[in-house]
Amino acid sequence: MAERAGVVEARSVPQLRGFASTDKSNDWRRGRTGSAAVHEPELRYTTGDLLRLKPVSRIAPPADYAIRRATAGDLDALVALEQAAFTTDHLSRRQYTKHLRSDSARVFVAMDEGGLLGKALVFFHKGSDIARLYSIAVADRARGRGIAKALLAKVEQAARSHGCRRMRLEVSQSNPSAIALYERLGYHRFAEHREYYENGEHAWRYEKRLID
Ligand SMILES: CC(C)(COP(=O)(O)OP(=O)(O)OC[C@H]1O[C@@H](n2cnc3c(N)ncnc32)[C@H](O)[C@@H]1OP(=O)(O)O)[C@@H](O)C(=O)NCCC(=O)NCCS
């Protein structure tokens, strides 16, 4: 069969195994029922077609969870995840209760039928266009499914809605998974905090521009 000539619109190219289309209309993170169907290719692809597809390290499964703002009913689960996910600097129930009520904070949770999968806490400061991601964690059973990535996207969207142009965060220098997460999502290291955590660990400071 002769190779198909001409440009094939990325939109019309079915998803290939191991590749993610840059076409956002097929973005599985858009909701619980977002389609992640991986079709067997029916067309032959030219090199040009393949260059318009972005490689990914794994195939995104269907989103079987939802992200929403946390409520007082989530407090027990939030505190339990806090204890399980961190070895130091735990947020207390009292702090969560305060943040849930505060105008200058947002707590988001990722939930499925089994309960809490992950959470993220972001702060806004009056008169500042810099939001601060204070905490993010995903339950052991749910790691590696893109939940932190989806929570961060939600937090960044909330920050933009607050008029914030940048997001900043601190991360322990001995936390390679979190460092990889932030760098993967476009955060860049700009400073260091020595002995930032209660256990004496040093932190890197990261920033991402949210609006050009
Ligand atoms: C860090 C953490 C939030 C990641 O959650 P997660 O839902 O597993 O992360 P995701 O599946 O969304 O991963 C997104 C990206 O982060 C990076 N990443 C996440 N976990 C990683 C790991 N263990 N090793 C290397 N890279 C990792 C990858 O680049 C990944 O993108 P990819 O899958 O396309 O390669 C989770 O491991 C966690 O809760 N850790 C304990 C709490 C913590 O350290 N929080 C951060 C405090 S600053």
CATH number at residue 110: 3.40.630.30
User: For residue 209, is it within any domain?
Assistant: no
User: For residue 177, is it within any domain?
Assistant: no
Number of Cβ atoms within 10 Å of the Cβ of 133: 23
**pLDDT at residue 59, as a whole number:** 57
Task: State yes or no: pLDDT of 21 exceeds 50.
Answer: no
State both tokens at 93: 């129930």
User: In this predicted model, which residue has the larger pLDDT, 5 or 77?
Assistant: 77
User: For residue 176, is it within any domain?
Assistant: no
C-beta of residue 110 within 8 angstroms of C-beta of residue 147: yes
Whole-number Å distance between alpha carbons of 28 and 138: 19
Residue nearest (by alpha carbon) to ligand 1 atom 23: 177
Q: Is the CB of 93 under 6 A from ligand 1?
A: no
- Span 106-135, pLDDT tens digits: 999 999 999 999 999 999 999 999 999 999
The predicted model scores a pTM of 0.77
User: For residue 100, is it within any domain?
Assistant: yes
Q: How far is the CA of 180 from the centre of ligand 1 (A)?
A: 7
Domain hosting residue 104, numbered range: 9-17+62-169
Hey, is 72 helix, strand or coil?
A: helix
User: For residue 75, is it within any domain?
Assistant: yes
Task: State yes or no: pLDDT of 2 exceeds 60.
Answer: no
Helix boundaries (H) for the chain: 47-51, 75-85, 93-101, 147-161, 176-184
| Residue 63 banded pLDDT, cuts 50, 70, 90 | confident
DSSP label of 57: S
User: For residue 157, is it within any domain?
Assistant: yes
Q: Is the CB of 143 under 6 A from ligand 1?
A: yes
**pLDDT at residue 49, as a whole number:** 60
Q: Is the CB of 30 under 6 A from ligand 1?
A: no
* Residue 58: CA count within 13 A, CB half-sphere: 6
